[in-house]
Amino acid sequence: MVVCMVGGELPAQGLVAVVKRDCPTCRAVEPVLAELAAAVDLTVYSQDDPSFPAGLPEVRDDTALEVSDRLGIETVPTLLRVAEGNETARAEGWLRSAWEALSGVEGLGQGLPDHRPGCGSRTLDPQVADMLRVRREGSRLRSRRVEISELEDEFEALHDRGWSDGLPVVPPTEARMLRMLDGTRRAPDEVVAVVPPNLVECTVEKVAANAVLAGCRPEYLPVVLAAVEAACTDEFNAHGVVATTWGAGPAIVVNGPIASSIGMNSGINALGQGNRANATIGRAMQLVLRNVGGGVPGGIDRATLGSPGKYTLCFAEDEDGSPWEPLSVSRGLAAGTSAVTVFATEGPRGVADQRSRTPESLARSLAAALRSVAHPKLPLAFDAALVVSPEHARVFGQAGWTQRRLTDELTALLELEPAGIVRGAGGMEEGVPEAAAGGPLPKFRDGGLMIMHAGGRAGLFSAVLGGWLGGEGGSTPVTREVRP
């Protein structure tokens, strides 16, 4: 008669075997287990069917896999020797010599080959492994649990709860959360930032939840964490960026070795769609501002028009192909450091110049395009970023123009003469009051123009990314190191 016991304490002495009926090797060693049970103290655990193996006085039910998980079983059959509660030896699969050595019984398994490999333990089935991990580690997750009933479509349910930017989001199950948190060494309960506009403390775990929603892979999480840290500083002023009627949103540029190691795009279509890391890192930061900070369009987000970059705008700088130092280095970090720089922008607008072969001519084209940020007649209004493509950067690089030189030349070209910018000039009422236009005024505040390098190898096009109010009353770009 077969007696079944559920789980129970592991025996302190003797042999332990873990098997499953589904495994042909386990079925082949069924008579061997009966031989062993007759000769020595043997405890058998069955992973899938407690009526298997037959011919034993007792088989313990491990269909819940508690014992298999605790023993770290990877293969069935596994035979263990236990002495005083500790494992002293282990054999995986059927190997006559090992089984004989473990048991001290000679001549086991007549008719069987000397060796036959086993099968994978049920604990390693992907779904089961997730379930076991949640059982072991789920208590690490402090977030409130939200139940979605089986009558609800899970994707519709997430939209209904307001967790989405309008596109489908990935349900943050406990298993996905634990996998996401594998992407960082930081503790789940570490506070990353206080997130505007509602000023809510945000832990690593909450960032991870939004990274899951956004579709990130775990290795992107450190970049998302750094971006959230950068965006939630007084200098960046995410509250203002979210709340303003202007359409800018936070964008991220990534520098250093992490960019290529997680497969970010700095080349063809760098500012566009199609790269998972670019797309989901930017989206995850936006979702943190929405879900944790409460920056919801129509609520605190009052943008008149908004911009598509408010779904996501994140790219890597092309450092290898650049004639200049990386943005993160010009912003004070050591070369080779992985970093994010977060800046407010309405998104890119192309500047086509396919004729200029001198830096002087090309700088004039770029300055003409930069002048139109906010309004062509407004000096000291909004910040801007300039993404110079490889073919344009080559013109500057070959002429020996450093990035500093380019910035200085653009600054000089963007001294706006009073005659062109006073109210009414050019038939446009917008402009500077007569009294304020005593002399030329700079287009951008000092430090209000940021230059970076990205894009495909072909195309004499760069991009102007108009920003928002710079400096104290607005938003200043913020750079943060990416920490593992």
**Can you give the binding site for another protein, defined by CB under 8 A?**
141, 143-151, 154, 158, 160, 163, 171-174, 177, 195, 198, 200, 202, 205-206, 209-210, 212-213, 287, 291-294
Nearest to another protein of 64, 422 (CB atom): 64
CA-to-CA distance for 33 and 38, rounded, in angstroms? Answer: 9
Cβ neighbours of residue 422 closer than 8 Å, sequence gap 6 or more: 431, 432, 433, 434, 437
Q: Return the number of the residue (177 or 279) whose C-beta is nearest another protein.
A: 177
Least distance in angstroms from the C-beta of 89 to another protein? 40
- Judged by beta carbon, residue 190 or residue 446, the one nearer another protein is 190
* Cα 83 from chain centre: 46
User: In whole angstroms, how close is the CB of 345 to another protein at the nearest point?
Assistant: 25
Report which DSSP code applies to 476. Answer: -
Smallest gap, in angstroms, from Cβ of residue 340 to another protein?
Answer: 21
What's the burial of 451, exposed, middle or buried (CB within 10 Å: 0-12/13-18/19+)?
A: buried
Closest distance to another protein from the beta carbon of 171 (Å): 5
Question: Treating both helix axes as pointing N-terminal to C-terminal, what angle do 359-371 and 403-413 enclose, rounded to 10 degrees?
Answer: 60
Query: Which one, 220 or 382, has the nearer CB to another protein?
Result: 220
Smallest distance from the beta carbon of 359 to another protein, in angstroms?
A: 48
Min separation Cβ 63 and another protein, Å:
17
Nearer of residues 210 and 322 to another protein, judged by Cβ = 210
412 beta partners: none
User: Residue 281 or residue 416: which is nearer to another protein going by CB?
Assistant: 281
Residue 195 CB, nearest distance to another protein (Å)? 7
Q: Which of 242, 473, 414, 443 is nearest to 342 (CA)?
A: 242
Smallest separation, CB 207 to another protein (Å):
9
Is the distance from CB of 449 to CB of 342 less than 8 angstroms?
no
Q: Which is nearer to another protein, 76 or 284 (CB)?
A: 284
Q: Smallest Cα–Cα separation from 470: which of 449, 451, 452, 439?
A: 449
Q: What are the structure tokens assigned to 272, written together?
A: 């566009």
Sign of the alpha-carbon dihedral angle for 127, 132, 134, 140 = negative
CB of 297: closest distance to another protein in angstroms?
16
Tokens of 168: 């489908």
Question: What's at 377, amino acid-wise?
Answer: K
Nearer to another protein, 195 or 230 (CB): 195
Cβ 292 to another protein, closest distance in Å?
Answer: 5
Q: State the DSSP code for 436.
A: G
DSSP states of 90-121 as a string? EEESEEHHHHHHHH---S-STTS-SEE--EE-
Asked if residue 371 lies in contact with residue 420, where contact means CB atoms within 8 angstroms, the answer is: no
Q: Which residues contact 368 (CB under 8 A, 6 or more apart)?
A: none
Residue 156 or 417 with smaller CB distance to another protein = 156
Q: Which is nearer to another protein, 16 or 195 (CB)?
A: 195
Minimum CB separation of residue 243 from another protein in Å reads: 17
Nearer to another protein, 170 or 268 (CB): 170
- Nearer to another protein by C-beta: 23 or 288? 288
Give exposure, 101-135, as e/b (b: 16+ Cβ within 10 Å).
Answer: ebbebeebbeeeeeebebbebbbeeeebbbbbbbe
State the nearest-atom distance from the C-beta of 428 to another protein, in Å: 44
Task: Tell me how far the alpha carbon of residue 53 is from its chain's centroid.
Answer: 46
In the numeric block, the tokens 């190691």 are attached to 261
184 Cβ neighbours under 8 A, 6+ residues apart: 204, 208, 221, 222, 225, 484
